[in-house]
Chain A
């Protein structure tokens, strides 16, 4: 794995208001809890966990450009970003829209097929 797990994670966060709030408040704790609860797929990555070190860091740091580069589904990713940074955060929507476009523009269109 684990583009599948990245999508699974960001969909899990974005699915409910409470999860968006909890993740936005403490991403590191949320990621750890998600893995502890066994919500990731059961296919371990090379280092033994469900996420690689880079994937875990990316989710903990809310690094949406890297998530995009890794192949997160773009539709899901944008709604995750919108929920975390705009709805639960303090970034105005037009600014977030611009920030996102600029961040992913150099990355083109990564493959997000299954």
Chain B
């Protein structure tokens, strides 16, 4: 294995063990679909999956990333609760999906962190097709999810997984520079926001303009603002920008 993947691999192993230790009954996975399920035909700001089963992956993602096909169970009960039952909850006009082919935003964490044996509730947050929700909205989403999960009628143990990027560019003049940081200042700030529990700093530091300046897909970092808010703004137990040849990997964990 190339050296730059060693640390990434170690982090996944540590996170996997930490997740297993919490014995979750269900995983709420917050990610940003990459114009596979939700594209310019229909681009919800936030969408909750309420399907009994999810399939992965797309033919082009198998070709591009070498991902295998697999299935994972969905938790429709928790999904329905998060949606709000018969009236949308939490001030969020969530979209809902009963059939959703998951892309790598969801499959990468599930494959690397689990044995695909834990039911999931996927939540898509649009960070890829402008206009995207502003950072404050992601913080509101995280706070809502934490409160709704805590108030859920079942006594299930729920883990929240968020996925995204640090400064990253794909399909632009600064893509794949071979490991040189695209925007080291942003990455360092981003790690500090999580490490220090600086939710306000993260919100004010993540305008669309600033995120675009850090790379054209950096806006997926916003999912970590939701995670920080879901953790009540507490400092992360672990926060690291892990170097790799493609782009630094974000590894943030809250052991609550």
A residues sitting closer than 8 Å to B (CB atoms) are: 4, 7-8, 11, 14-17, 68, 73-79, 82-83, 87, 97, 100-101, 104-105, 107-109, 111-114
Contact = CB atoms under 8 A, between A and B. Distances in A.
Interface of B: 34-35, 39-41, 43, 58-60, 63-64, 128-131, 169-176, 212, 216-217
B175 A8 contact: no
Contact of B130 (A11, A87, A112): A112
A101 B130 contact: no
A104 B131 contact: no
Given A82-B64, A114-B43, A74 B59 contact: no
Nearest to A13: B60
Contacts of A107: 173
Contact of A76 (B58, B63, B171, B175): B171
A74 B40 contact: no
B30 to A, nearest CB: 19
B65 to A, nearest CB: 10
Contacts of B128: 73, 75
A114 B130 contact: yes
A77 B176 CA distance: 15
A75 B34 contact: yes
A103 to B, nearest CB: 9
A83 B129 CA distance: 22
Nearest to A81: B171
